[in-house]
Structures are given as C-alpha cells and as structure tokens.
Structure 1
C-alpha cells in the first residue's frame, strides 16, 4: 500500500471514530438513581440482587446509568421502601408487594398468594399470562412500575419455640409473618406480627414473639433463628414462591431513554435467574447445618394445612366481592393457577416425587424401591 493511500485511509478511520464518539455520547445520557432495599446486607442473596442489578446496569450502559443501592434503614426502614419510591424520596426499591397488603390486599399478587403457584408458574403468569400488565396497572395508581427481579422459591414455615401438634396450638401464637398468610392465620387464632427482616431475631430472643417465619434455610441460618427457637416447620404454604419486585417511580421510569429501560429489564431478568439459582444451591447444605446445630424439622399437621387452605379461598372470595382491584387480578390468577395444577400433576410432580422417593430409599439402604407416581388428572 502506498504511503499516501495509507494516510488517506487512516485519516478516514480517525475521522469516523471522532464522529462516532459524540454520537455515542449523545445516546448515553448520564442518569443516577438511588435504590432502597427492604433487606439488610447480611442477607447476601436478597441484598445481593440490588448489588447485581446496580453493577450490571452500569456495565451494560458503559457507565451512563448508575444505580446506588442502600440497605434497609440506610435511607428508610425496610418496610417503607415502596412508599419512598412512590413519593419520590428514591427512584427505585427492591421489596415485596405483600408488605403493603394493609393498604390493599391486591398488592399480594406481585409477591405471592398462600397456596398459590410455585416459582416457575408465577414467572409464567407474570410474563405470559398477563400478570405483569395487571400488576402494573394496579401499582401505577401509586405512581409505580414493577419489574420482577428476584425470587426465593418455596419457603419454609418458620421457627417456633414450641411444637405445633394440632390446629389448637395456633391459638394465641404471636408469629412474625408478612403478607396474606398472616391474615389467614389470624382467622385460625394466630396473632400476626409484621417485622422487618433485620429486627426479627431480637424480637424472637426477647420473647416479644413466639415464632417467626422469614424465608428458607439459606437466609434463616444467617439470621440465627435456630439459636432461640428449635422447631423448624414446612411447608411455607403462604409463600410457595416470593417474587421480589424492583419498584420504580413511574415518572422516573417514563423519563428514562428506551434503551435504558431495556437494559434495566435485562439486568432484572438476569438477577432473577441468579437469585433462584443461589437459593437452590444454598438451601440443601444450609438445612443440614441447621439440623446439626439442633434444629428439629417438622411437617405442619394435616388439620393445620387443610384449615388454612379452606380459609385462603374464603378470604380471596371475600376480597373479590368487595375490592374491584383484587377481583380483576384474581380472576386471571385463579384461572391460571387451576390450569397449572393440571400440568404439574401430569409431569413435574410425579417426576419430583419419584426422584425424592428413590433418594430416600438410597439413603435408607433400600435402593430400587419403586415409588408410585402421583395420579395424573382425568379428563
């Protein structure tokens, strides 16, 4: 190549680069937000989604969009994070809609309903069953938009100072519990208490409460509940899933460039996948460690589960009859729940049941003992 041609070509390349840089800068406005989490930093997974979303949004936008996360209590108390977004104190928050059921039980649909769908079913409803559209239509009334951003999977039923042997043992029990599970248990004699995650241990240690539920082994171990209450129950029927939303001030969301909105959706979706994976990875070993420390694992008595399920459906019917917000979403949610149970009984549940039974047989030294699959639904 002749020197003159090379210089000419190089000049064109340099000019193109000089022209491209200002164009890129114009498409990358500088945006800085604050994120208030409802969780303490000790909960590495629930707090971790705030750190992950903040880091990834900066990487995706080449530093143009910065989100600074703050743990519960650093700007506002954990249970007030959503309100802080609504009134513009902060731009966004990681929290549970179920923390706000005192204002309207409809908020629970963005987290979970007792005896509702599992995690995969919930994500399917949100993204493909019209759930997100219905939820965001509702939360827009509070100047908010919600993006699914994390999930605990199915939870445990909490820590109790005394055994729960029958329905009668619930009467007068002071239990820390969030969401509609507390409303249902109240109808069965429990005295529900709503306490932020970082404050539960102290209340349980002082005897202010008799029992506490929070999440599952991976989180509960970090909070140390096993040191003050040894009876650990399952299943956490009030949270067979728990969707953590990134609640965003609607005005701030609408002001974001479209490519920043898309980047935030992508970062939240990635955080959701990692959150579920971290819980699935961490819960098994955490449960073994808790048992080694003295935790006694129990199933809830059948009469407790049966009574709670019956009350859950009575409660939803009552809300639907008196609350138009609730009725509109419940019609979609309940129909989707029913269809999903049919599929679960055909494939997922029998597969998991057989696997679980064979694993138990191997552990007991009786490998090969066939387990009968769950009965498939009949047409």
Structure 2
C-alpha cells in the first residue's frame, strides 16, 4: 500500500473509532456524587485521612466525574452507626473498623482484627489471597454491604495504665476502656471492661473513673496527652496486631456502578490501604520518643499476662464458634492461615527483624 493511501485509510479508521468510542465512554462514565461517613474525627488525620485519600483517587481516575465527599463522625451519623447508615442507604458508603459492630454479630471482628490474630501483612495476604475477603463479603451481604480493605494501623500499643502491671494478679478489678471481643478476654483475666468514646477517655483517666485505656498508637495517643494522667504505656496491643480498616459500600449501589467505576473504587481503596500503613510506620517512631521524653514509662506486658490472655482468647473463640456457625467458618479459615504465616515469618521477617532490633539497641543503626 502506498504511504498516502495508508495515511488516508488510517485516518478514516481513527475517526470512525473516535465516533464510536466517545458515546460509549460517556455512557460508561456518568457523573456521580456519593457521600462517605467516617467513624473517626478529622483530628485523627491518618486514620480519617485514608478516606480522603480514597476519595481523591476516585476523582482523579474519573477526571472528576465520580465525586465522593467524606464526612467526619457525627456530621451525618455517629461513628458507631456508620454501618447502619450504609445498610439503609442513608449514605452510599462509610469508612470504619468492622469490629465496631460486634454487638450485632462477633463475625464483624474478623474483617478488622481479633486478639492474637494476624499482623498487617498477614491480614492483607489472607484477605486478598486466602479467600478472606470473599468470606467476609458473603457475611456482609446479609446487611446489604460490600466491603473493601482501606487501611491498617499495624500493631497497636497496649494502652495507658495508672499503675504498673507486674503479673496477672494486678489485673484484678482494673477498670479499662476496652470493648468487643478484647473486652471479653480481659474480663476473663479480672479486668472490668468499659465502653467509653474517644473524646471522653482523658477526663475518665484523670478523674480515676477508669484505671486504664487502649487507643491506637504513639502518633494518635500523643495528641490526646494520656501520659499526663496514666504514666505507664504498655506494649504490645495483643488485641490489635494489625487492625484493618474497611470501606463499607451499599451493595446495591456498588453493583449499579459501571464496571469501570467498580475498578476505580477497588484501585482507590488499595491506595488508601497502602497510605495508612506507610503513614503510621513513618510517624509512630518519632511520636513514641516524644512521649517517652514527656514522661511516658514504656513497659512490656509480663509473659504470664500474655500467656493468660492467649489462653483466654482461645476459650472465647471456642465459645463463640459453638454458637455462631458463620464466625466459626471464617475464623477457621483465618486460623489455618495464621499457622502457616507464622511458620514462614519465623524464617524470614522474624529472624531478620530480631537481628536488626539488636543492632538498633546497640546503636549501630
């Protein structure tokens, strides 16, 4: 074919393709405006900020045609009513921690974290590669919810305590702000669990209404000034070894999206997931140093406390499983992977990290 004829033919084909493609793309990419209610206040800029990261990526990937406005807890509904707002289509979606809703069904916790569960990397592996997300969405569907991971705090701290804990015996009668499955486990150890909103923790500790409280980790805890009223800062938060945050999307609304928008939502959620863990890993270390410099006394939980808590956790899971077939099914899947994951991690990250911890302590890093 001569060059001039080829160019004429190619140009005509391109024009025809453009004529056909433009209406198809316009139809596939409608203008939408959704609302996302967060379970968190704006002051917790990392955990709240993940929802804003998600919304920003959705807008950018759709050239502004799909807009999602994020609202802080309480602006539309209280943080602990976020899931209901999605189920009832009061909002199209929310950003939350699934374990906030264990009062409805303890199975919710498995989509976020359970005591002595998975760390952040393992949680992603089980959710994305081990069938965890499909199992959880099968459960959420009963509430007209479709879920995607959208952040992780990593392992949290063990909270702020007004007195030093040297053994299991020291837990007897301690009034602690902790709820859900972790609260049930603590109760087996003699703790009196208390459900208190985040904004009320500081005055409750200050007045002695409670003796201890768990929150998240150094970066968020520093903002709340807990070290002024409860000097002992314990680790690790064995009840939250890798808290996954969740996007809950009204299932009917999600299914009505064009396929291209569904792909955008999945991609943007993954960006939020990456953002939160990376951000916390960047800011928690300096914050912990600041807390120690301002009076926080770091303490590891004694081994007998850890062992007693682990035993109590297994008892609680057995008790729940005996009554709840859905919980049992999903828990058994997670439990099977947990055994395999820690088998591998002891040879990889575990051994490597122990060596590097020693170098850090020797001030060689």
Q: If the TM-score is normalised by the length of the shorter chain, which range does it land in?
A: over 0.9
- Residue of structure 2 in register with 1:24 after alignment: 25
SS of residue matched to 2:165: coil
- Residue of structure 1 in register with 2:4 after alignment: none
How many pairs were matched up? 359
Q: Distance in 1 between matches of 2:46 and 2:84?
A: 23
Matched, 1:185 2:186: yes
- Residue of structure 2 in register with 1:224 after alignment: 225
- Residue of structure 2 in register with 1:325 after alignment: 326
Equivalent residues in 2 for 1:121-132, closer than 5 Å: 121-132=122-133
Return the TM-score normalized by structure 2. 0.93
- Residue of structure 2 in register with 1:91 after alignment: 92
Equivalent residues in 2 for 1:101-180, closer than 5 Å: 101-180=102-181
Q: Quick check: 1:34–1:68 contact (8 Å CA) kept in 2?
A: yes
- Residue of structure 2 in register with 1:340 after alignment: 341
- Residue of structure 1 in register with 2:3 after alignment: none
Q: Distance in 2 between matches of 1:274 and 1:189?
A: 38
SS of residue matched to 2:347: helix
**Deviations for 1:10-45, whole angstroms, at most 9, x for unmatched residues?**
999899867755443222112111111111111110
- Residue of structure 1 in register with 2:215 after alignment: 214
Distance 1:203 1:34, change over 3 A: farther
Q: Quick check: 1:50–1:94 contact (8 Å CA) kept in 2?
A: yes
Return the TM-score normalized by structure 1. 0.89
- Residue of structure 2 in register with 1:261 after alignment: 262
Distance 1:60 1:119, change over 3 A: same
Q: Quick check: 2:28–2:260 contact (8 Å CA) kept in 1?
A: no
SS of residue matched to 1:346: coil
SS of residue matched to 1:112: coil
More moved, 348-357 vs 312-321: 312-321
Q: Distance in 2 between matches of 1:16 and 1:312?
A: 61
Q: Distance in 2 between matches of 1:160 and 1:41?
A: 26
- Residue of structure 2 in register with 1:204 after alignment: 205
**Deviations for 1:255-301, whole angstroms, at most 9, x for unmatched residues?**
11111111011001011111111010001100000111111100111
Distance 1:204 1:21, change over 3 A: farther
- Residue of structure 1 in register with 2:42 after alignment: 41
Q: Quick check: 1:33–1:68 contact (8 Å CA) kept in 2?
A: yes
CA drift of 1:193 comes to: 2.0
SS of residue matched to 1:181: helix
SS of residue matched to 1:42: coil
CA drift of 1:144 comes to: 0.6
Q: Quick check: 1:153–1:241 contact (8 Å CA) kept in 2?
A: yes
Q: Quick check: 1:79–1:196 contact (8 Å CA) kept in 2?
A: no
Q: Which runs of 5 or more structure 1 residues have no equivalent in the other structure?
A: 1-5, 368-379
Q: Quick check: 2:82–2:94 contact (8 Å CA) kept in 1?
A: yes
Q: Distance in 1 between matches of 2:23 and 2:206?
A: 60
SS of residue matched to 1:343: helix
Q: Which runs of 5 or more structure 2 residues have no equivalent in the other structure?
A: 1-6
Q: Distance in 2 between matches of 1:323 and 1:183?
A: 16
Compute the RMSD of aligned alpha carbons. 2.2
Q: Distance in 1 between matches of 2:120 and 2:50?
A: 17
Q: Quick check: 1:33–1:90 contact (8 Å CA) kept in 2?
A: yes
Q: Distance in 1 between matches of 2:209 and 2:322?
A: 36
Q: Quick check: 2:29–2:260 contact (8 Å CA) kept in 1?
A: no
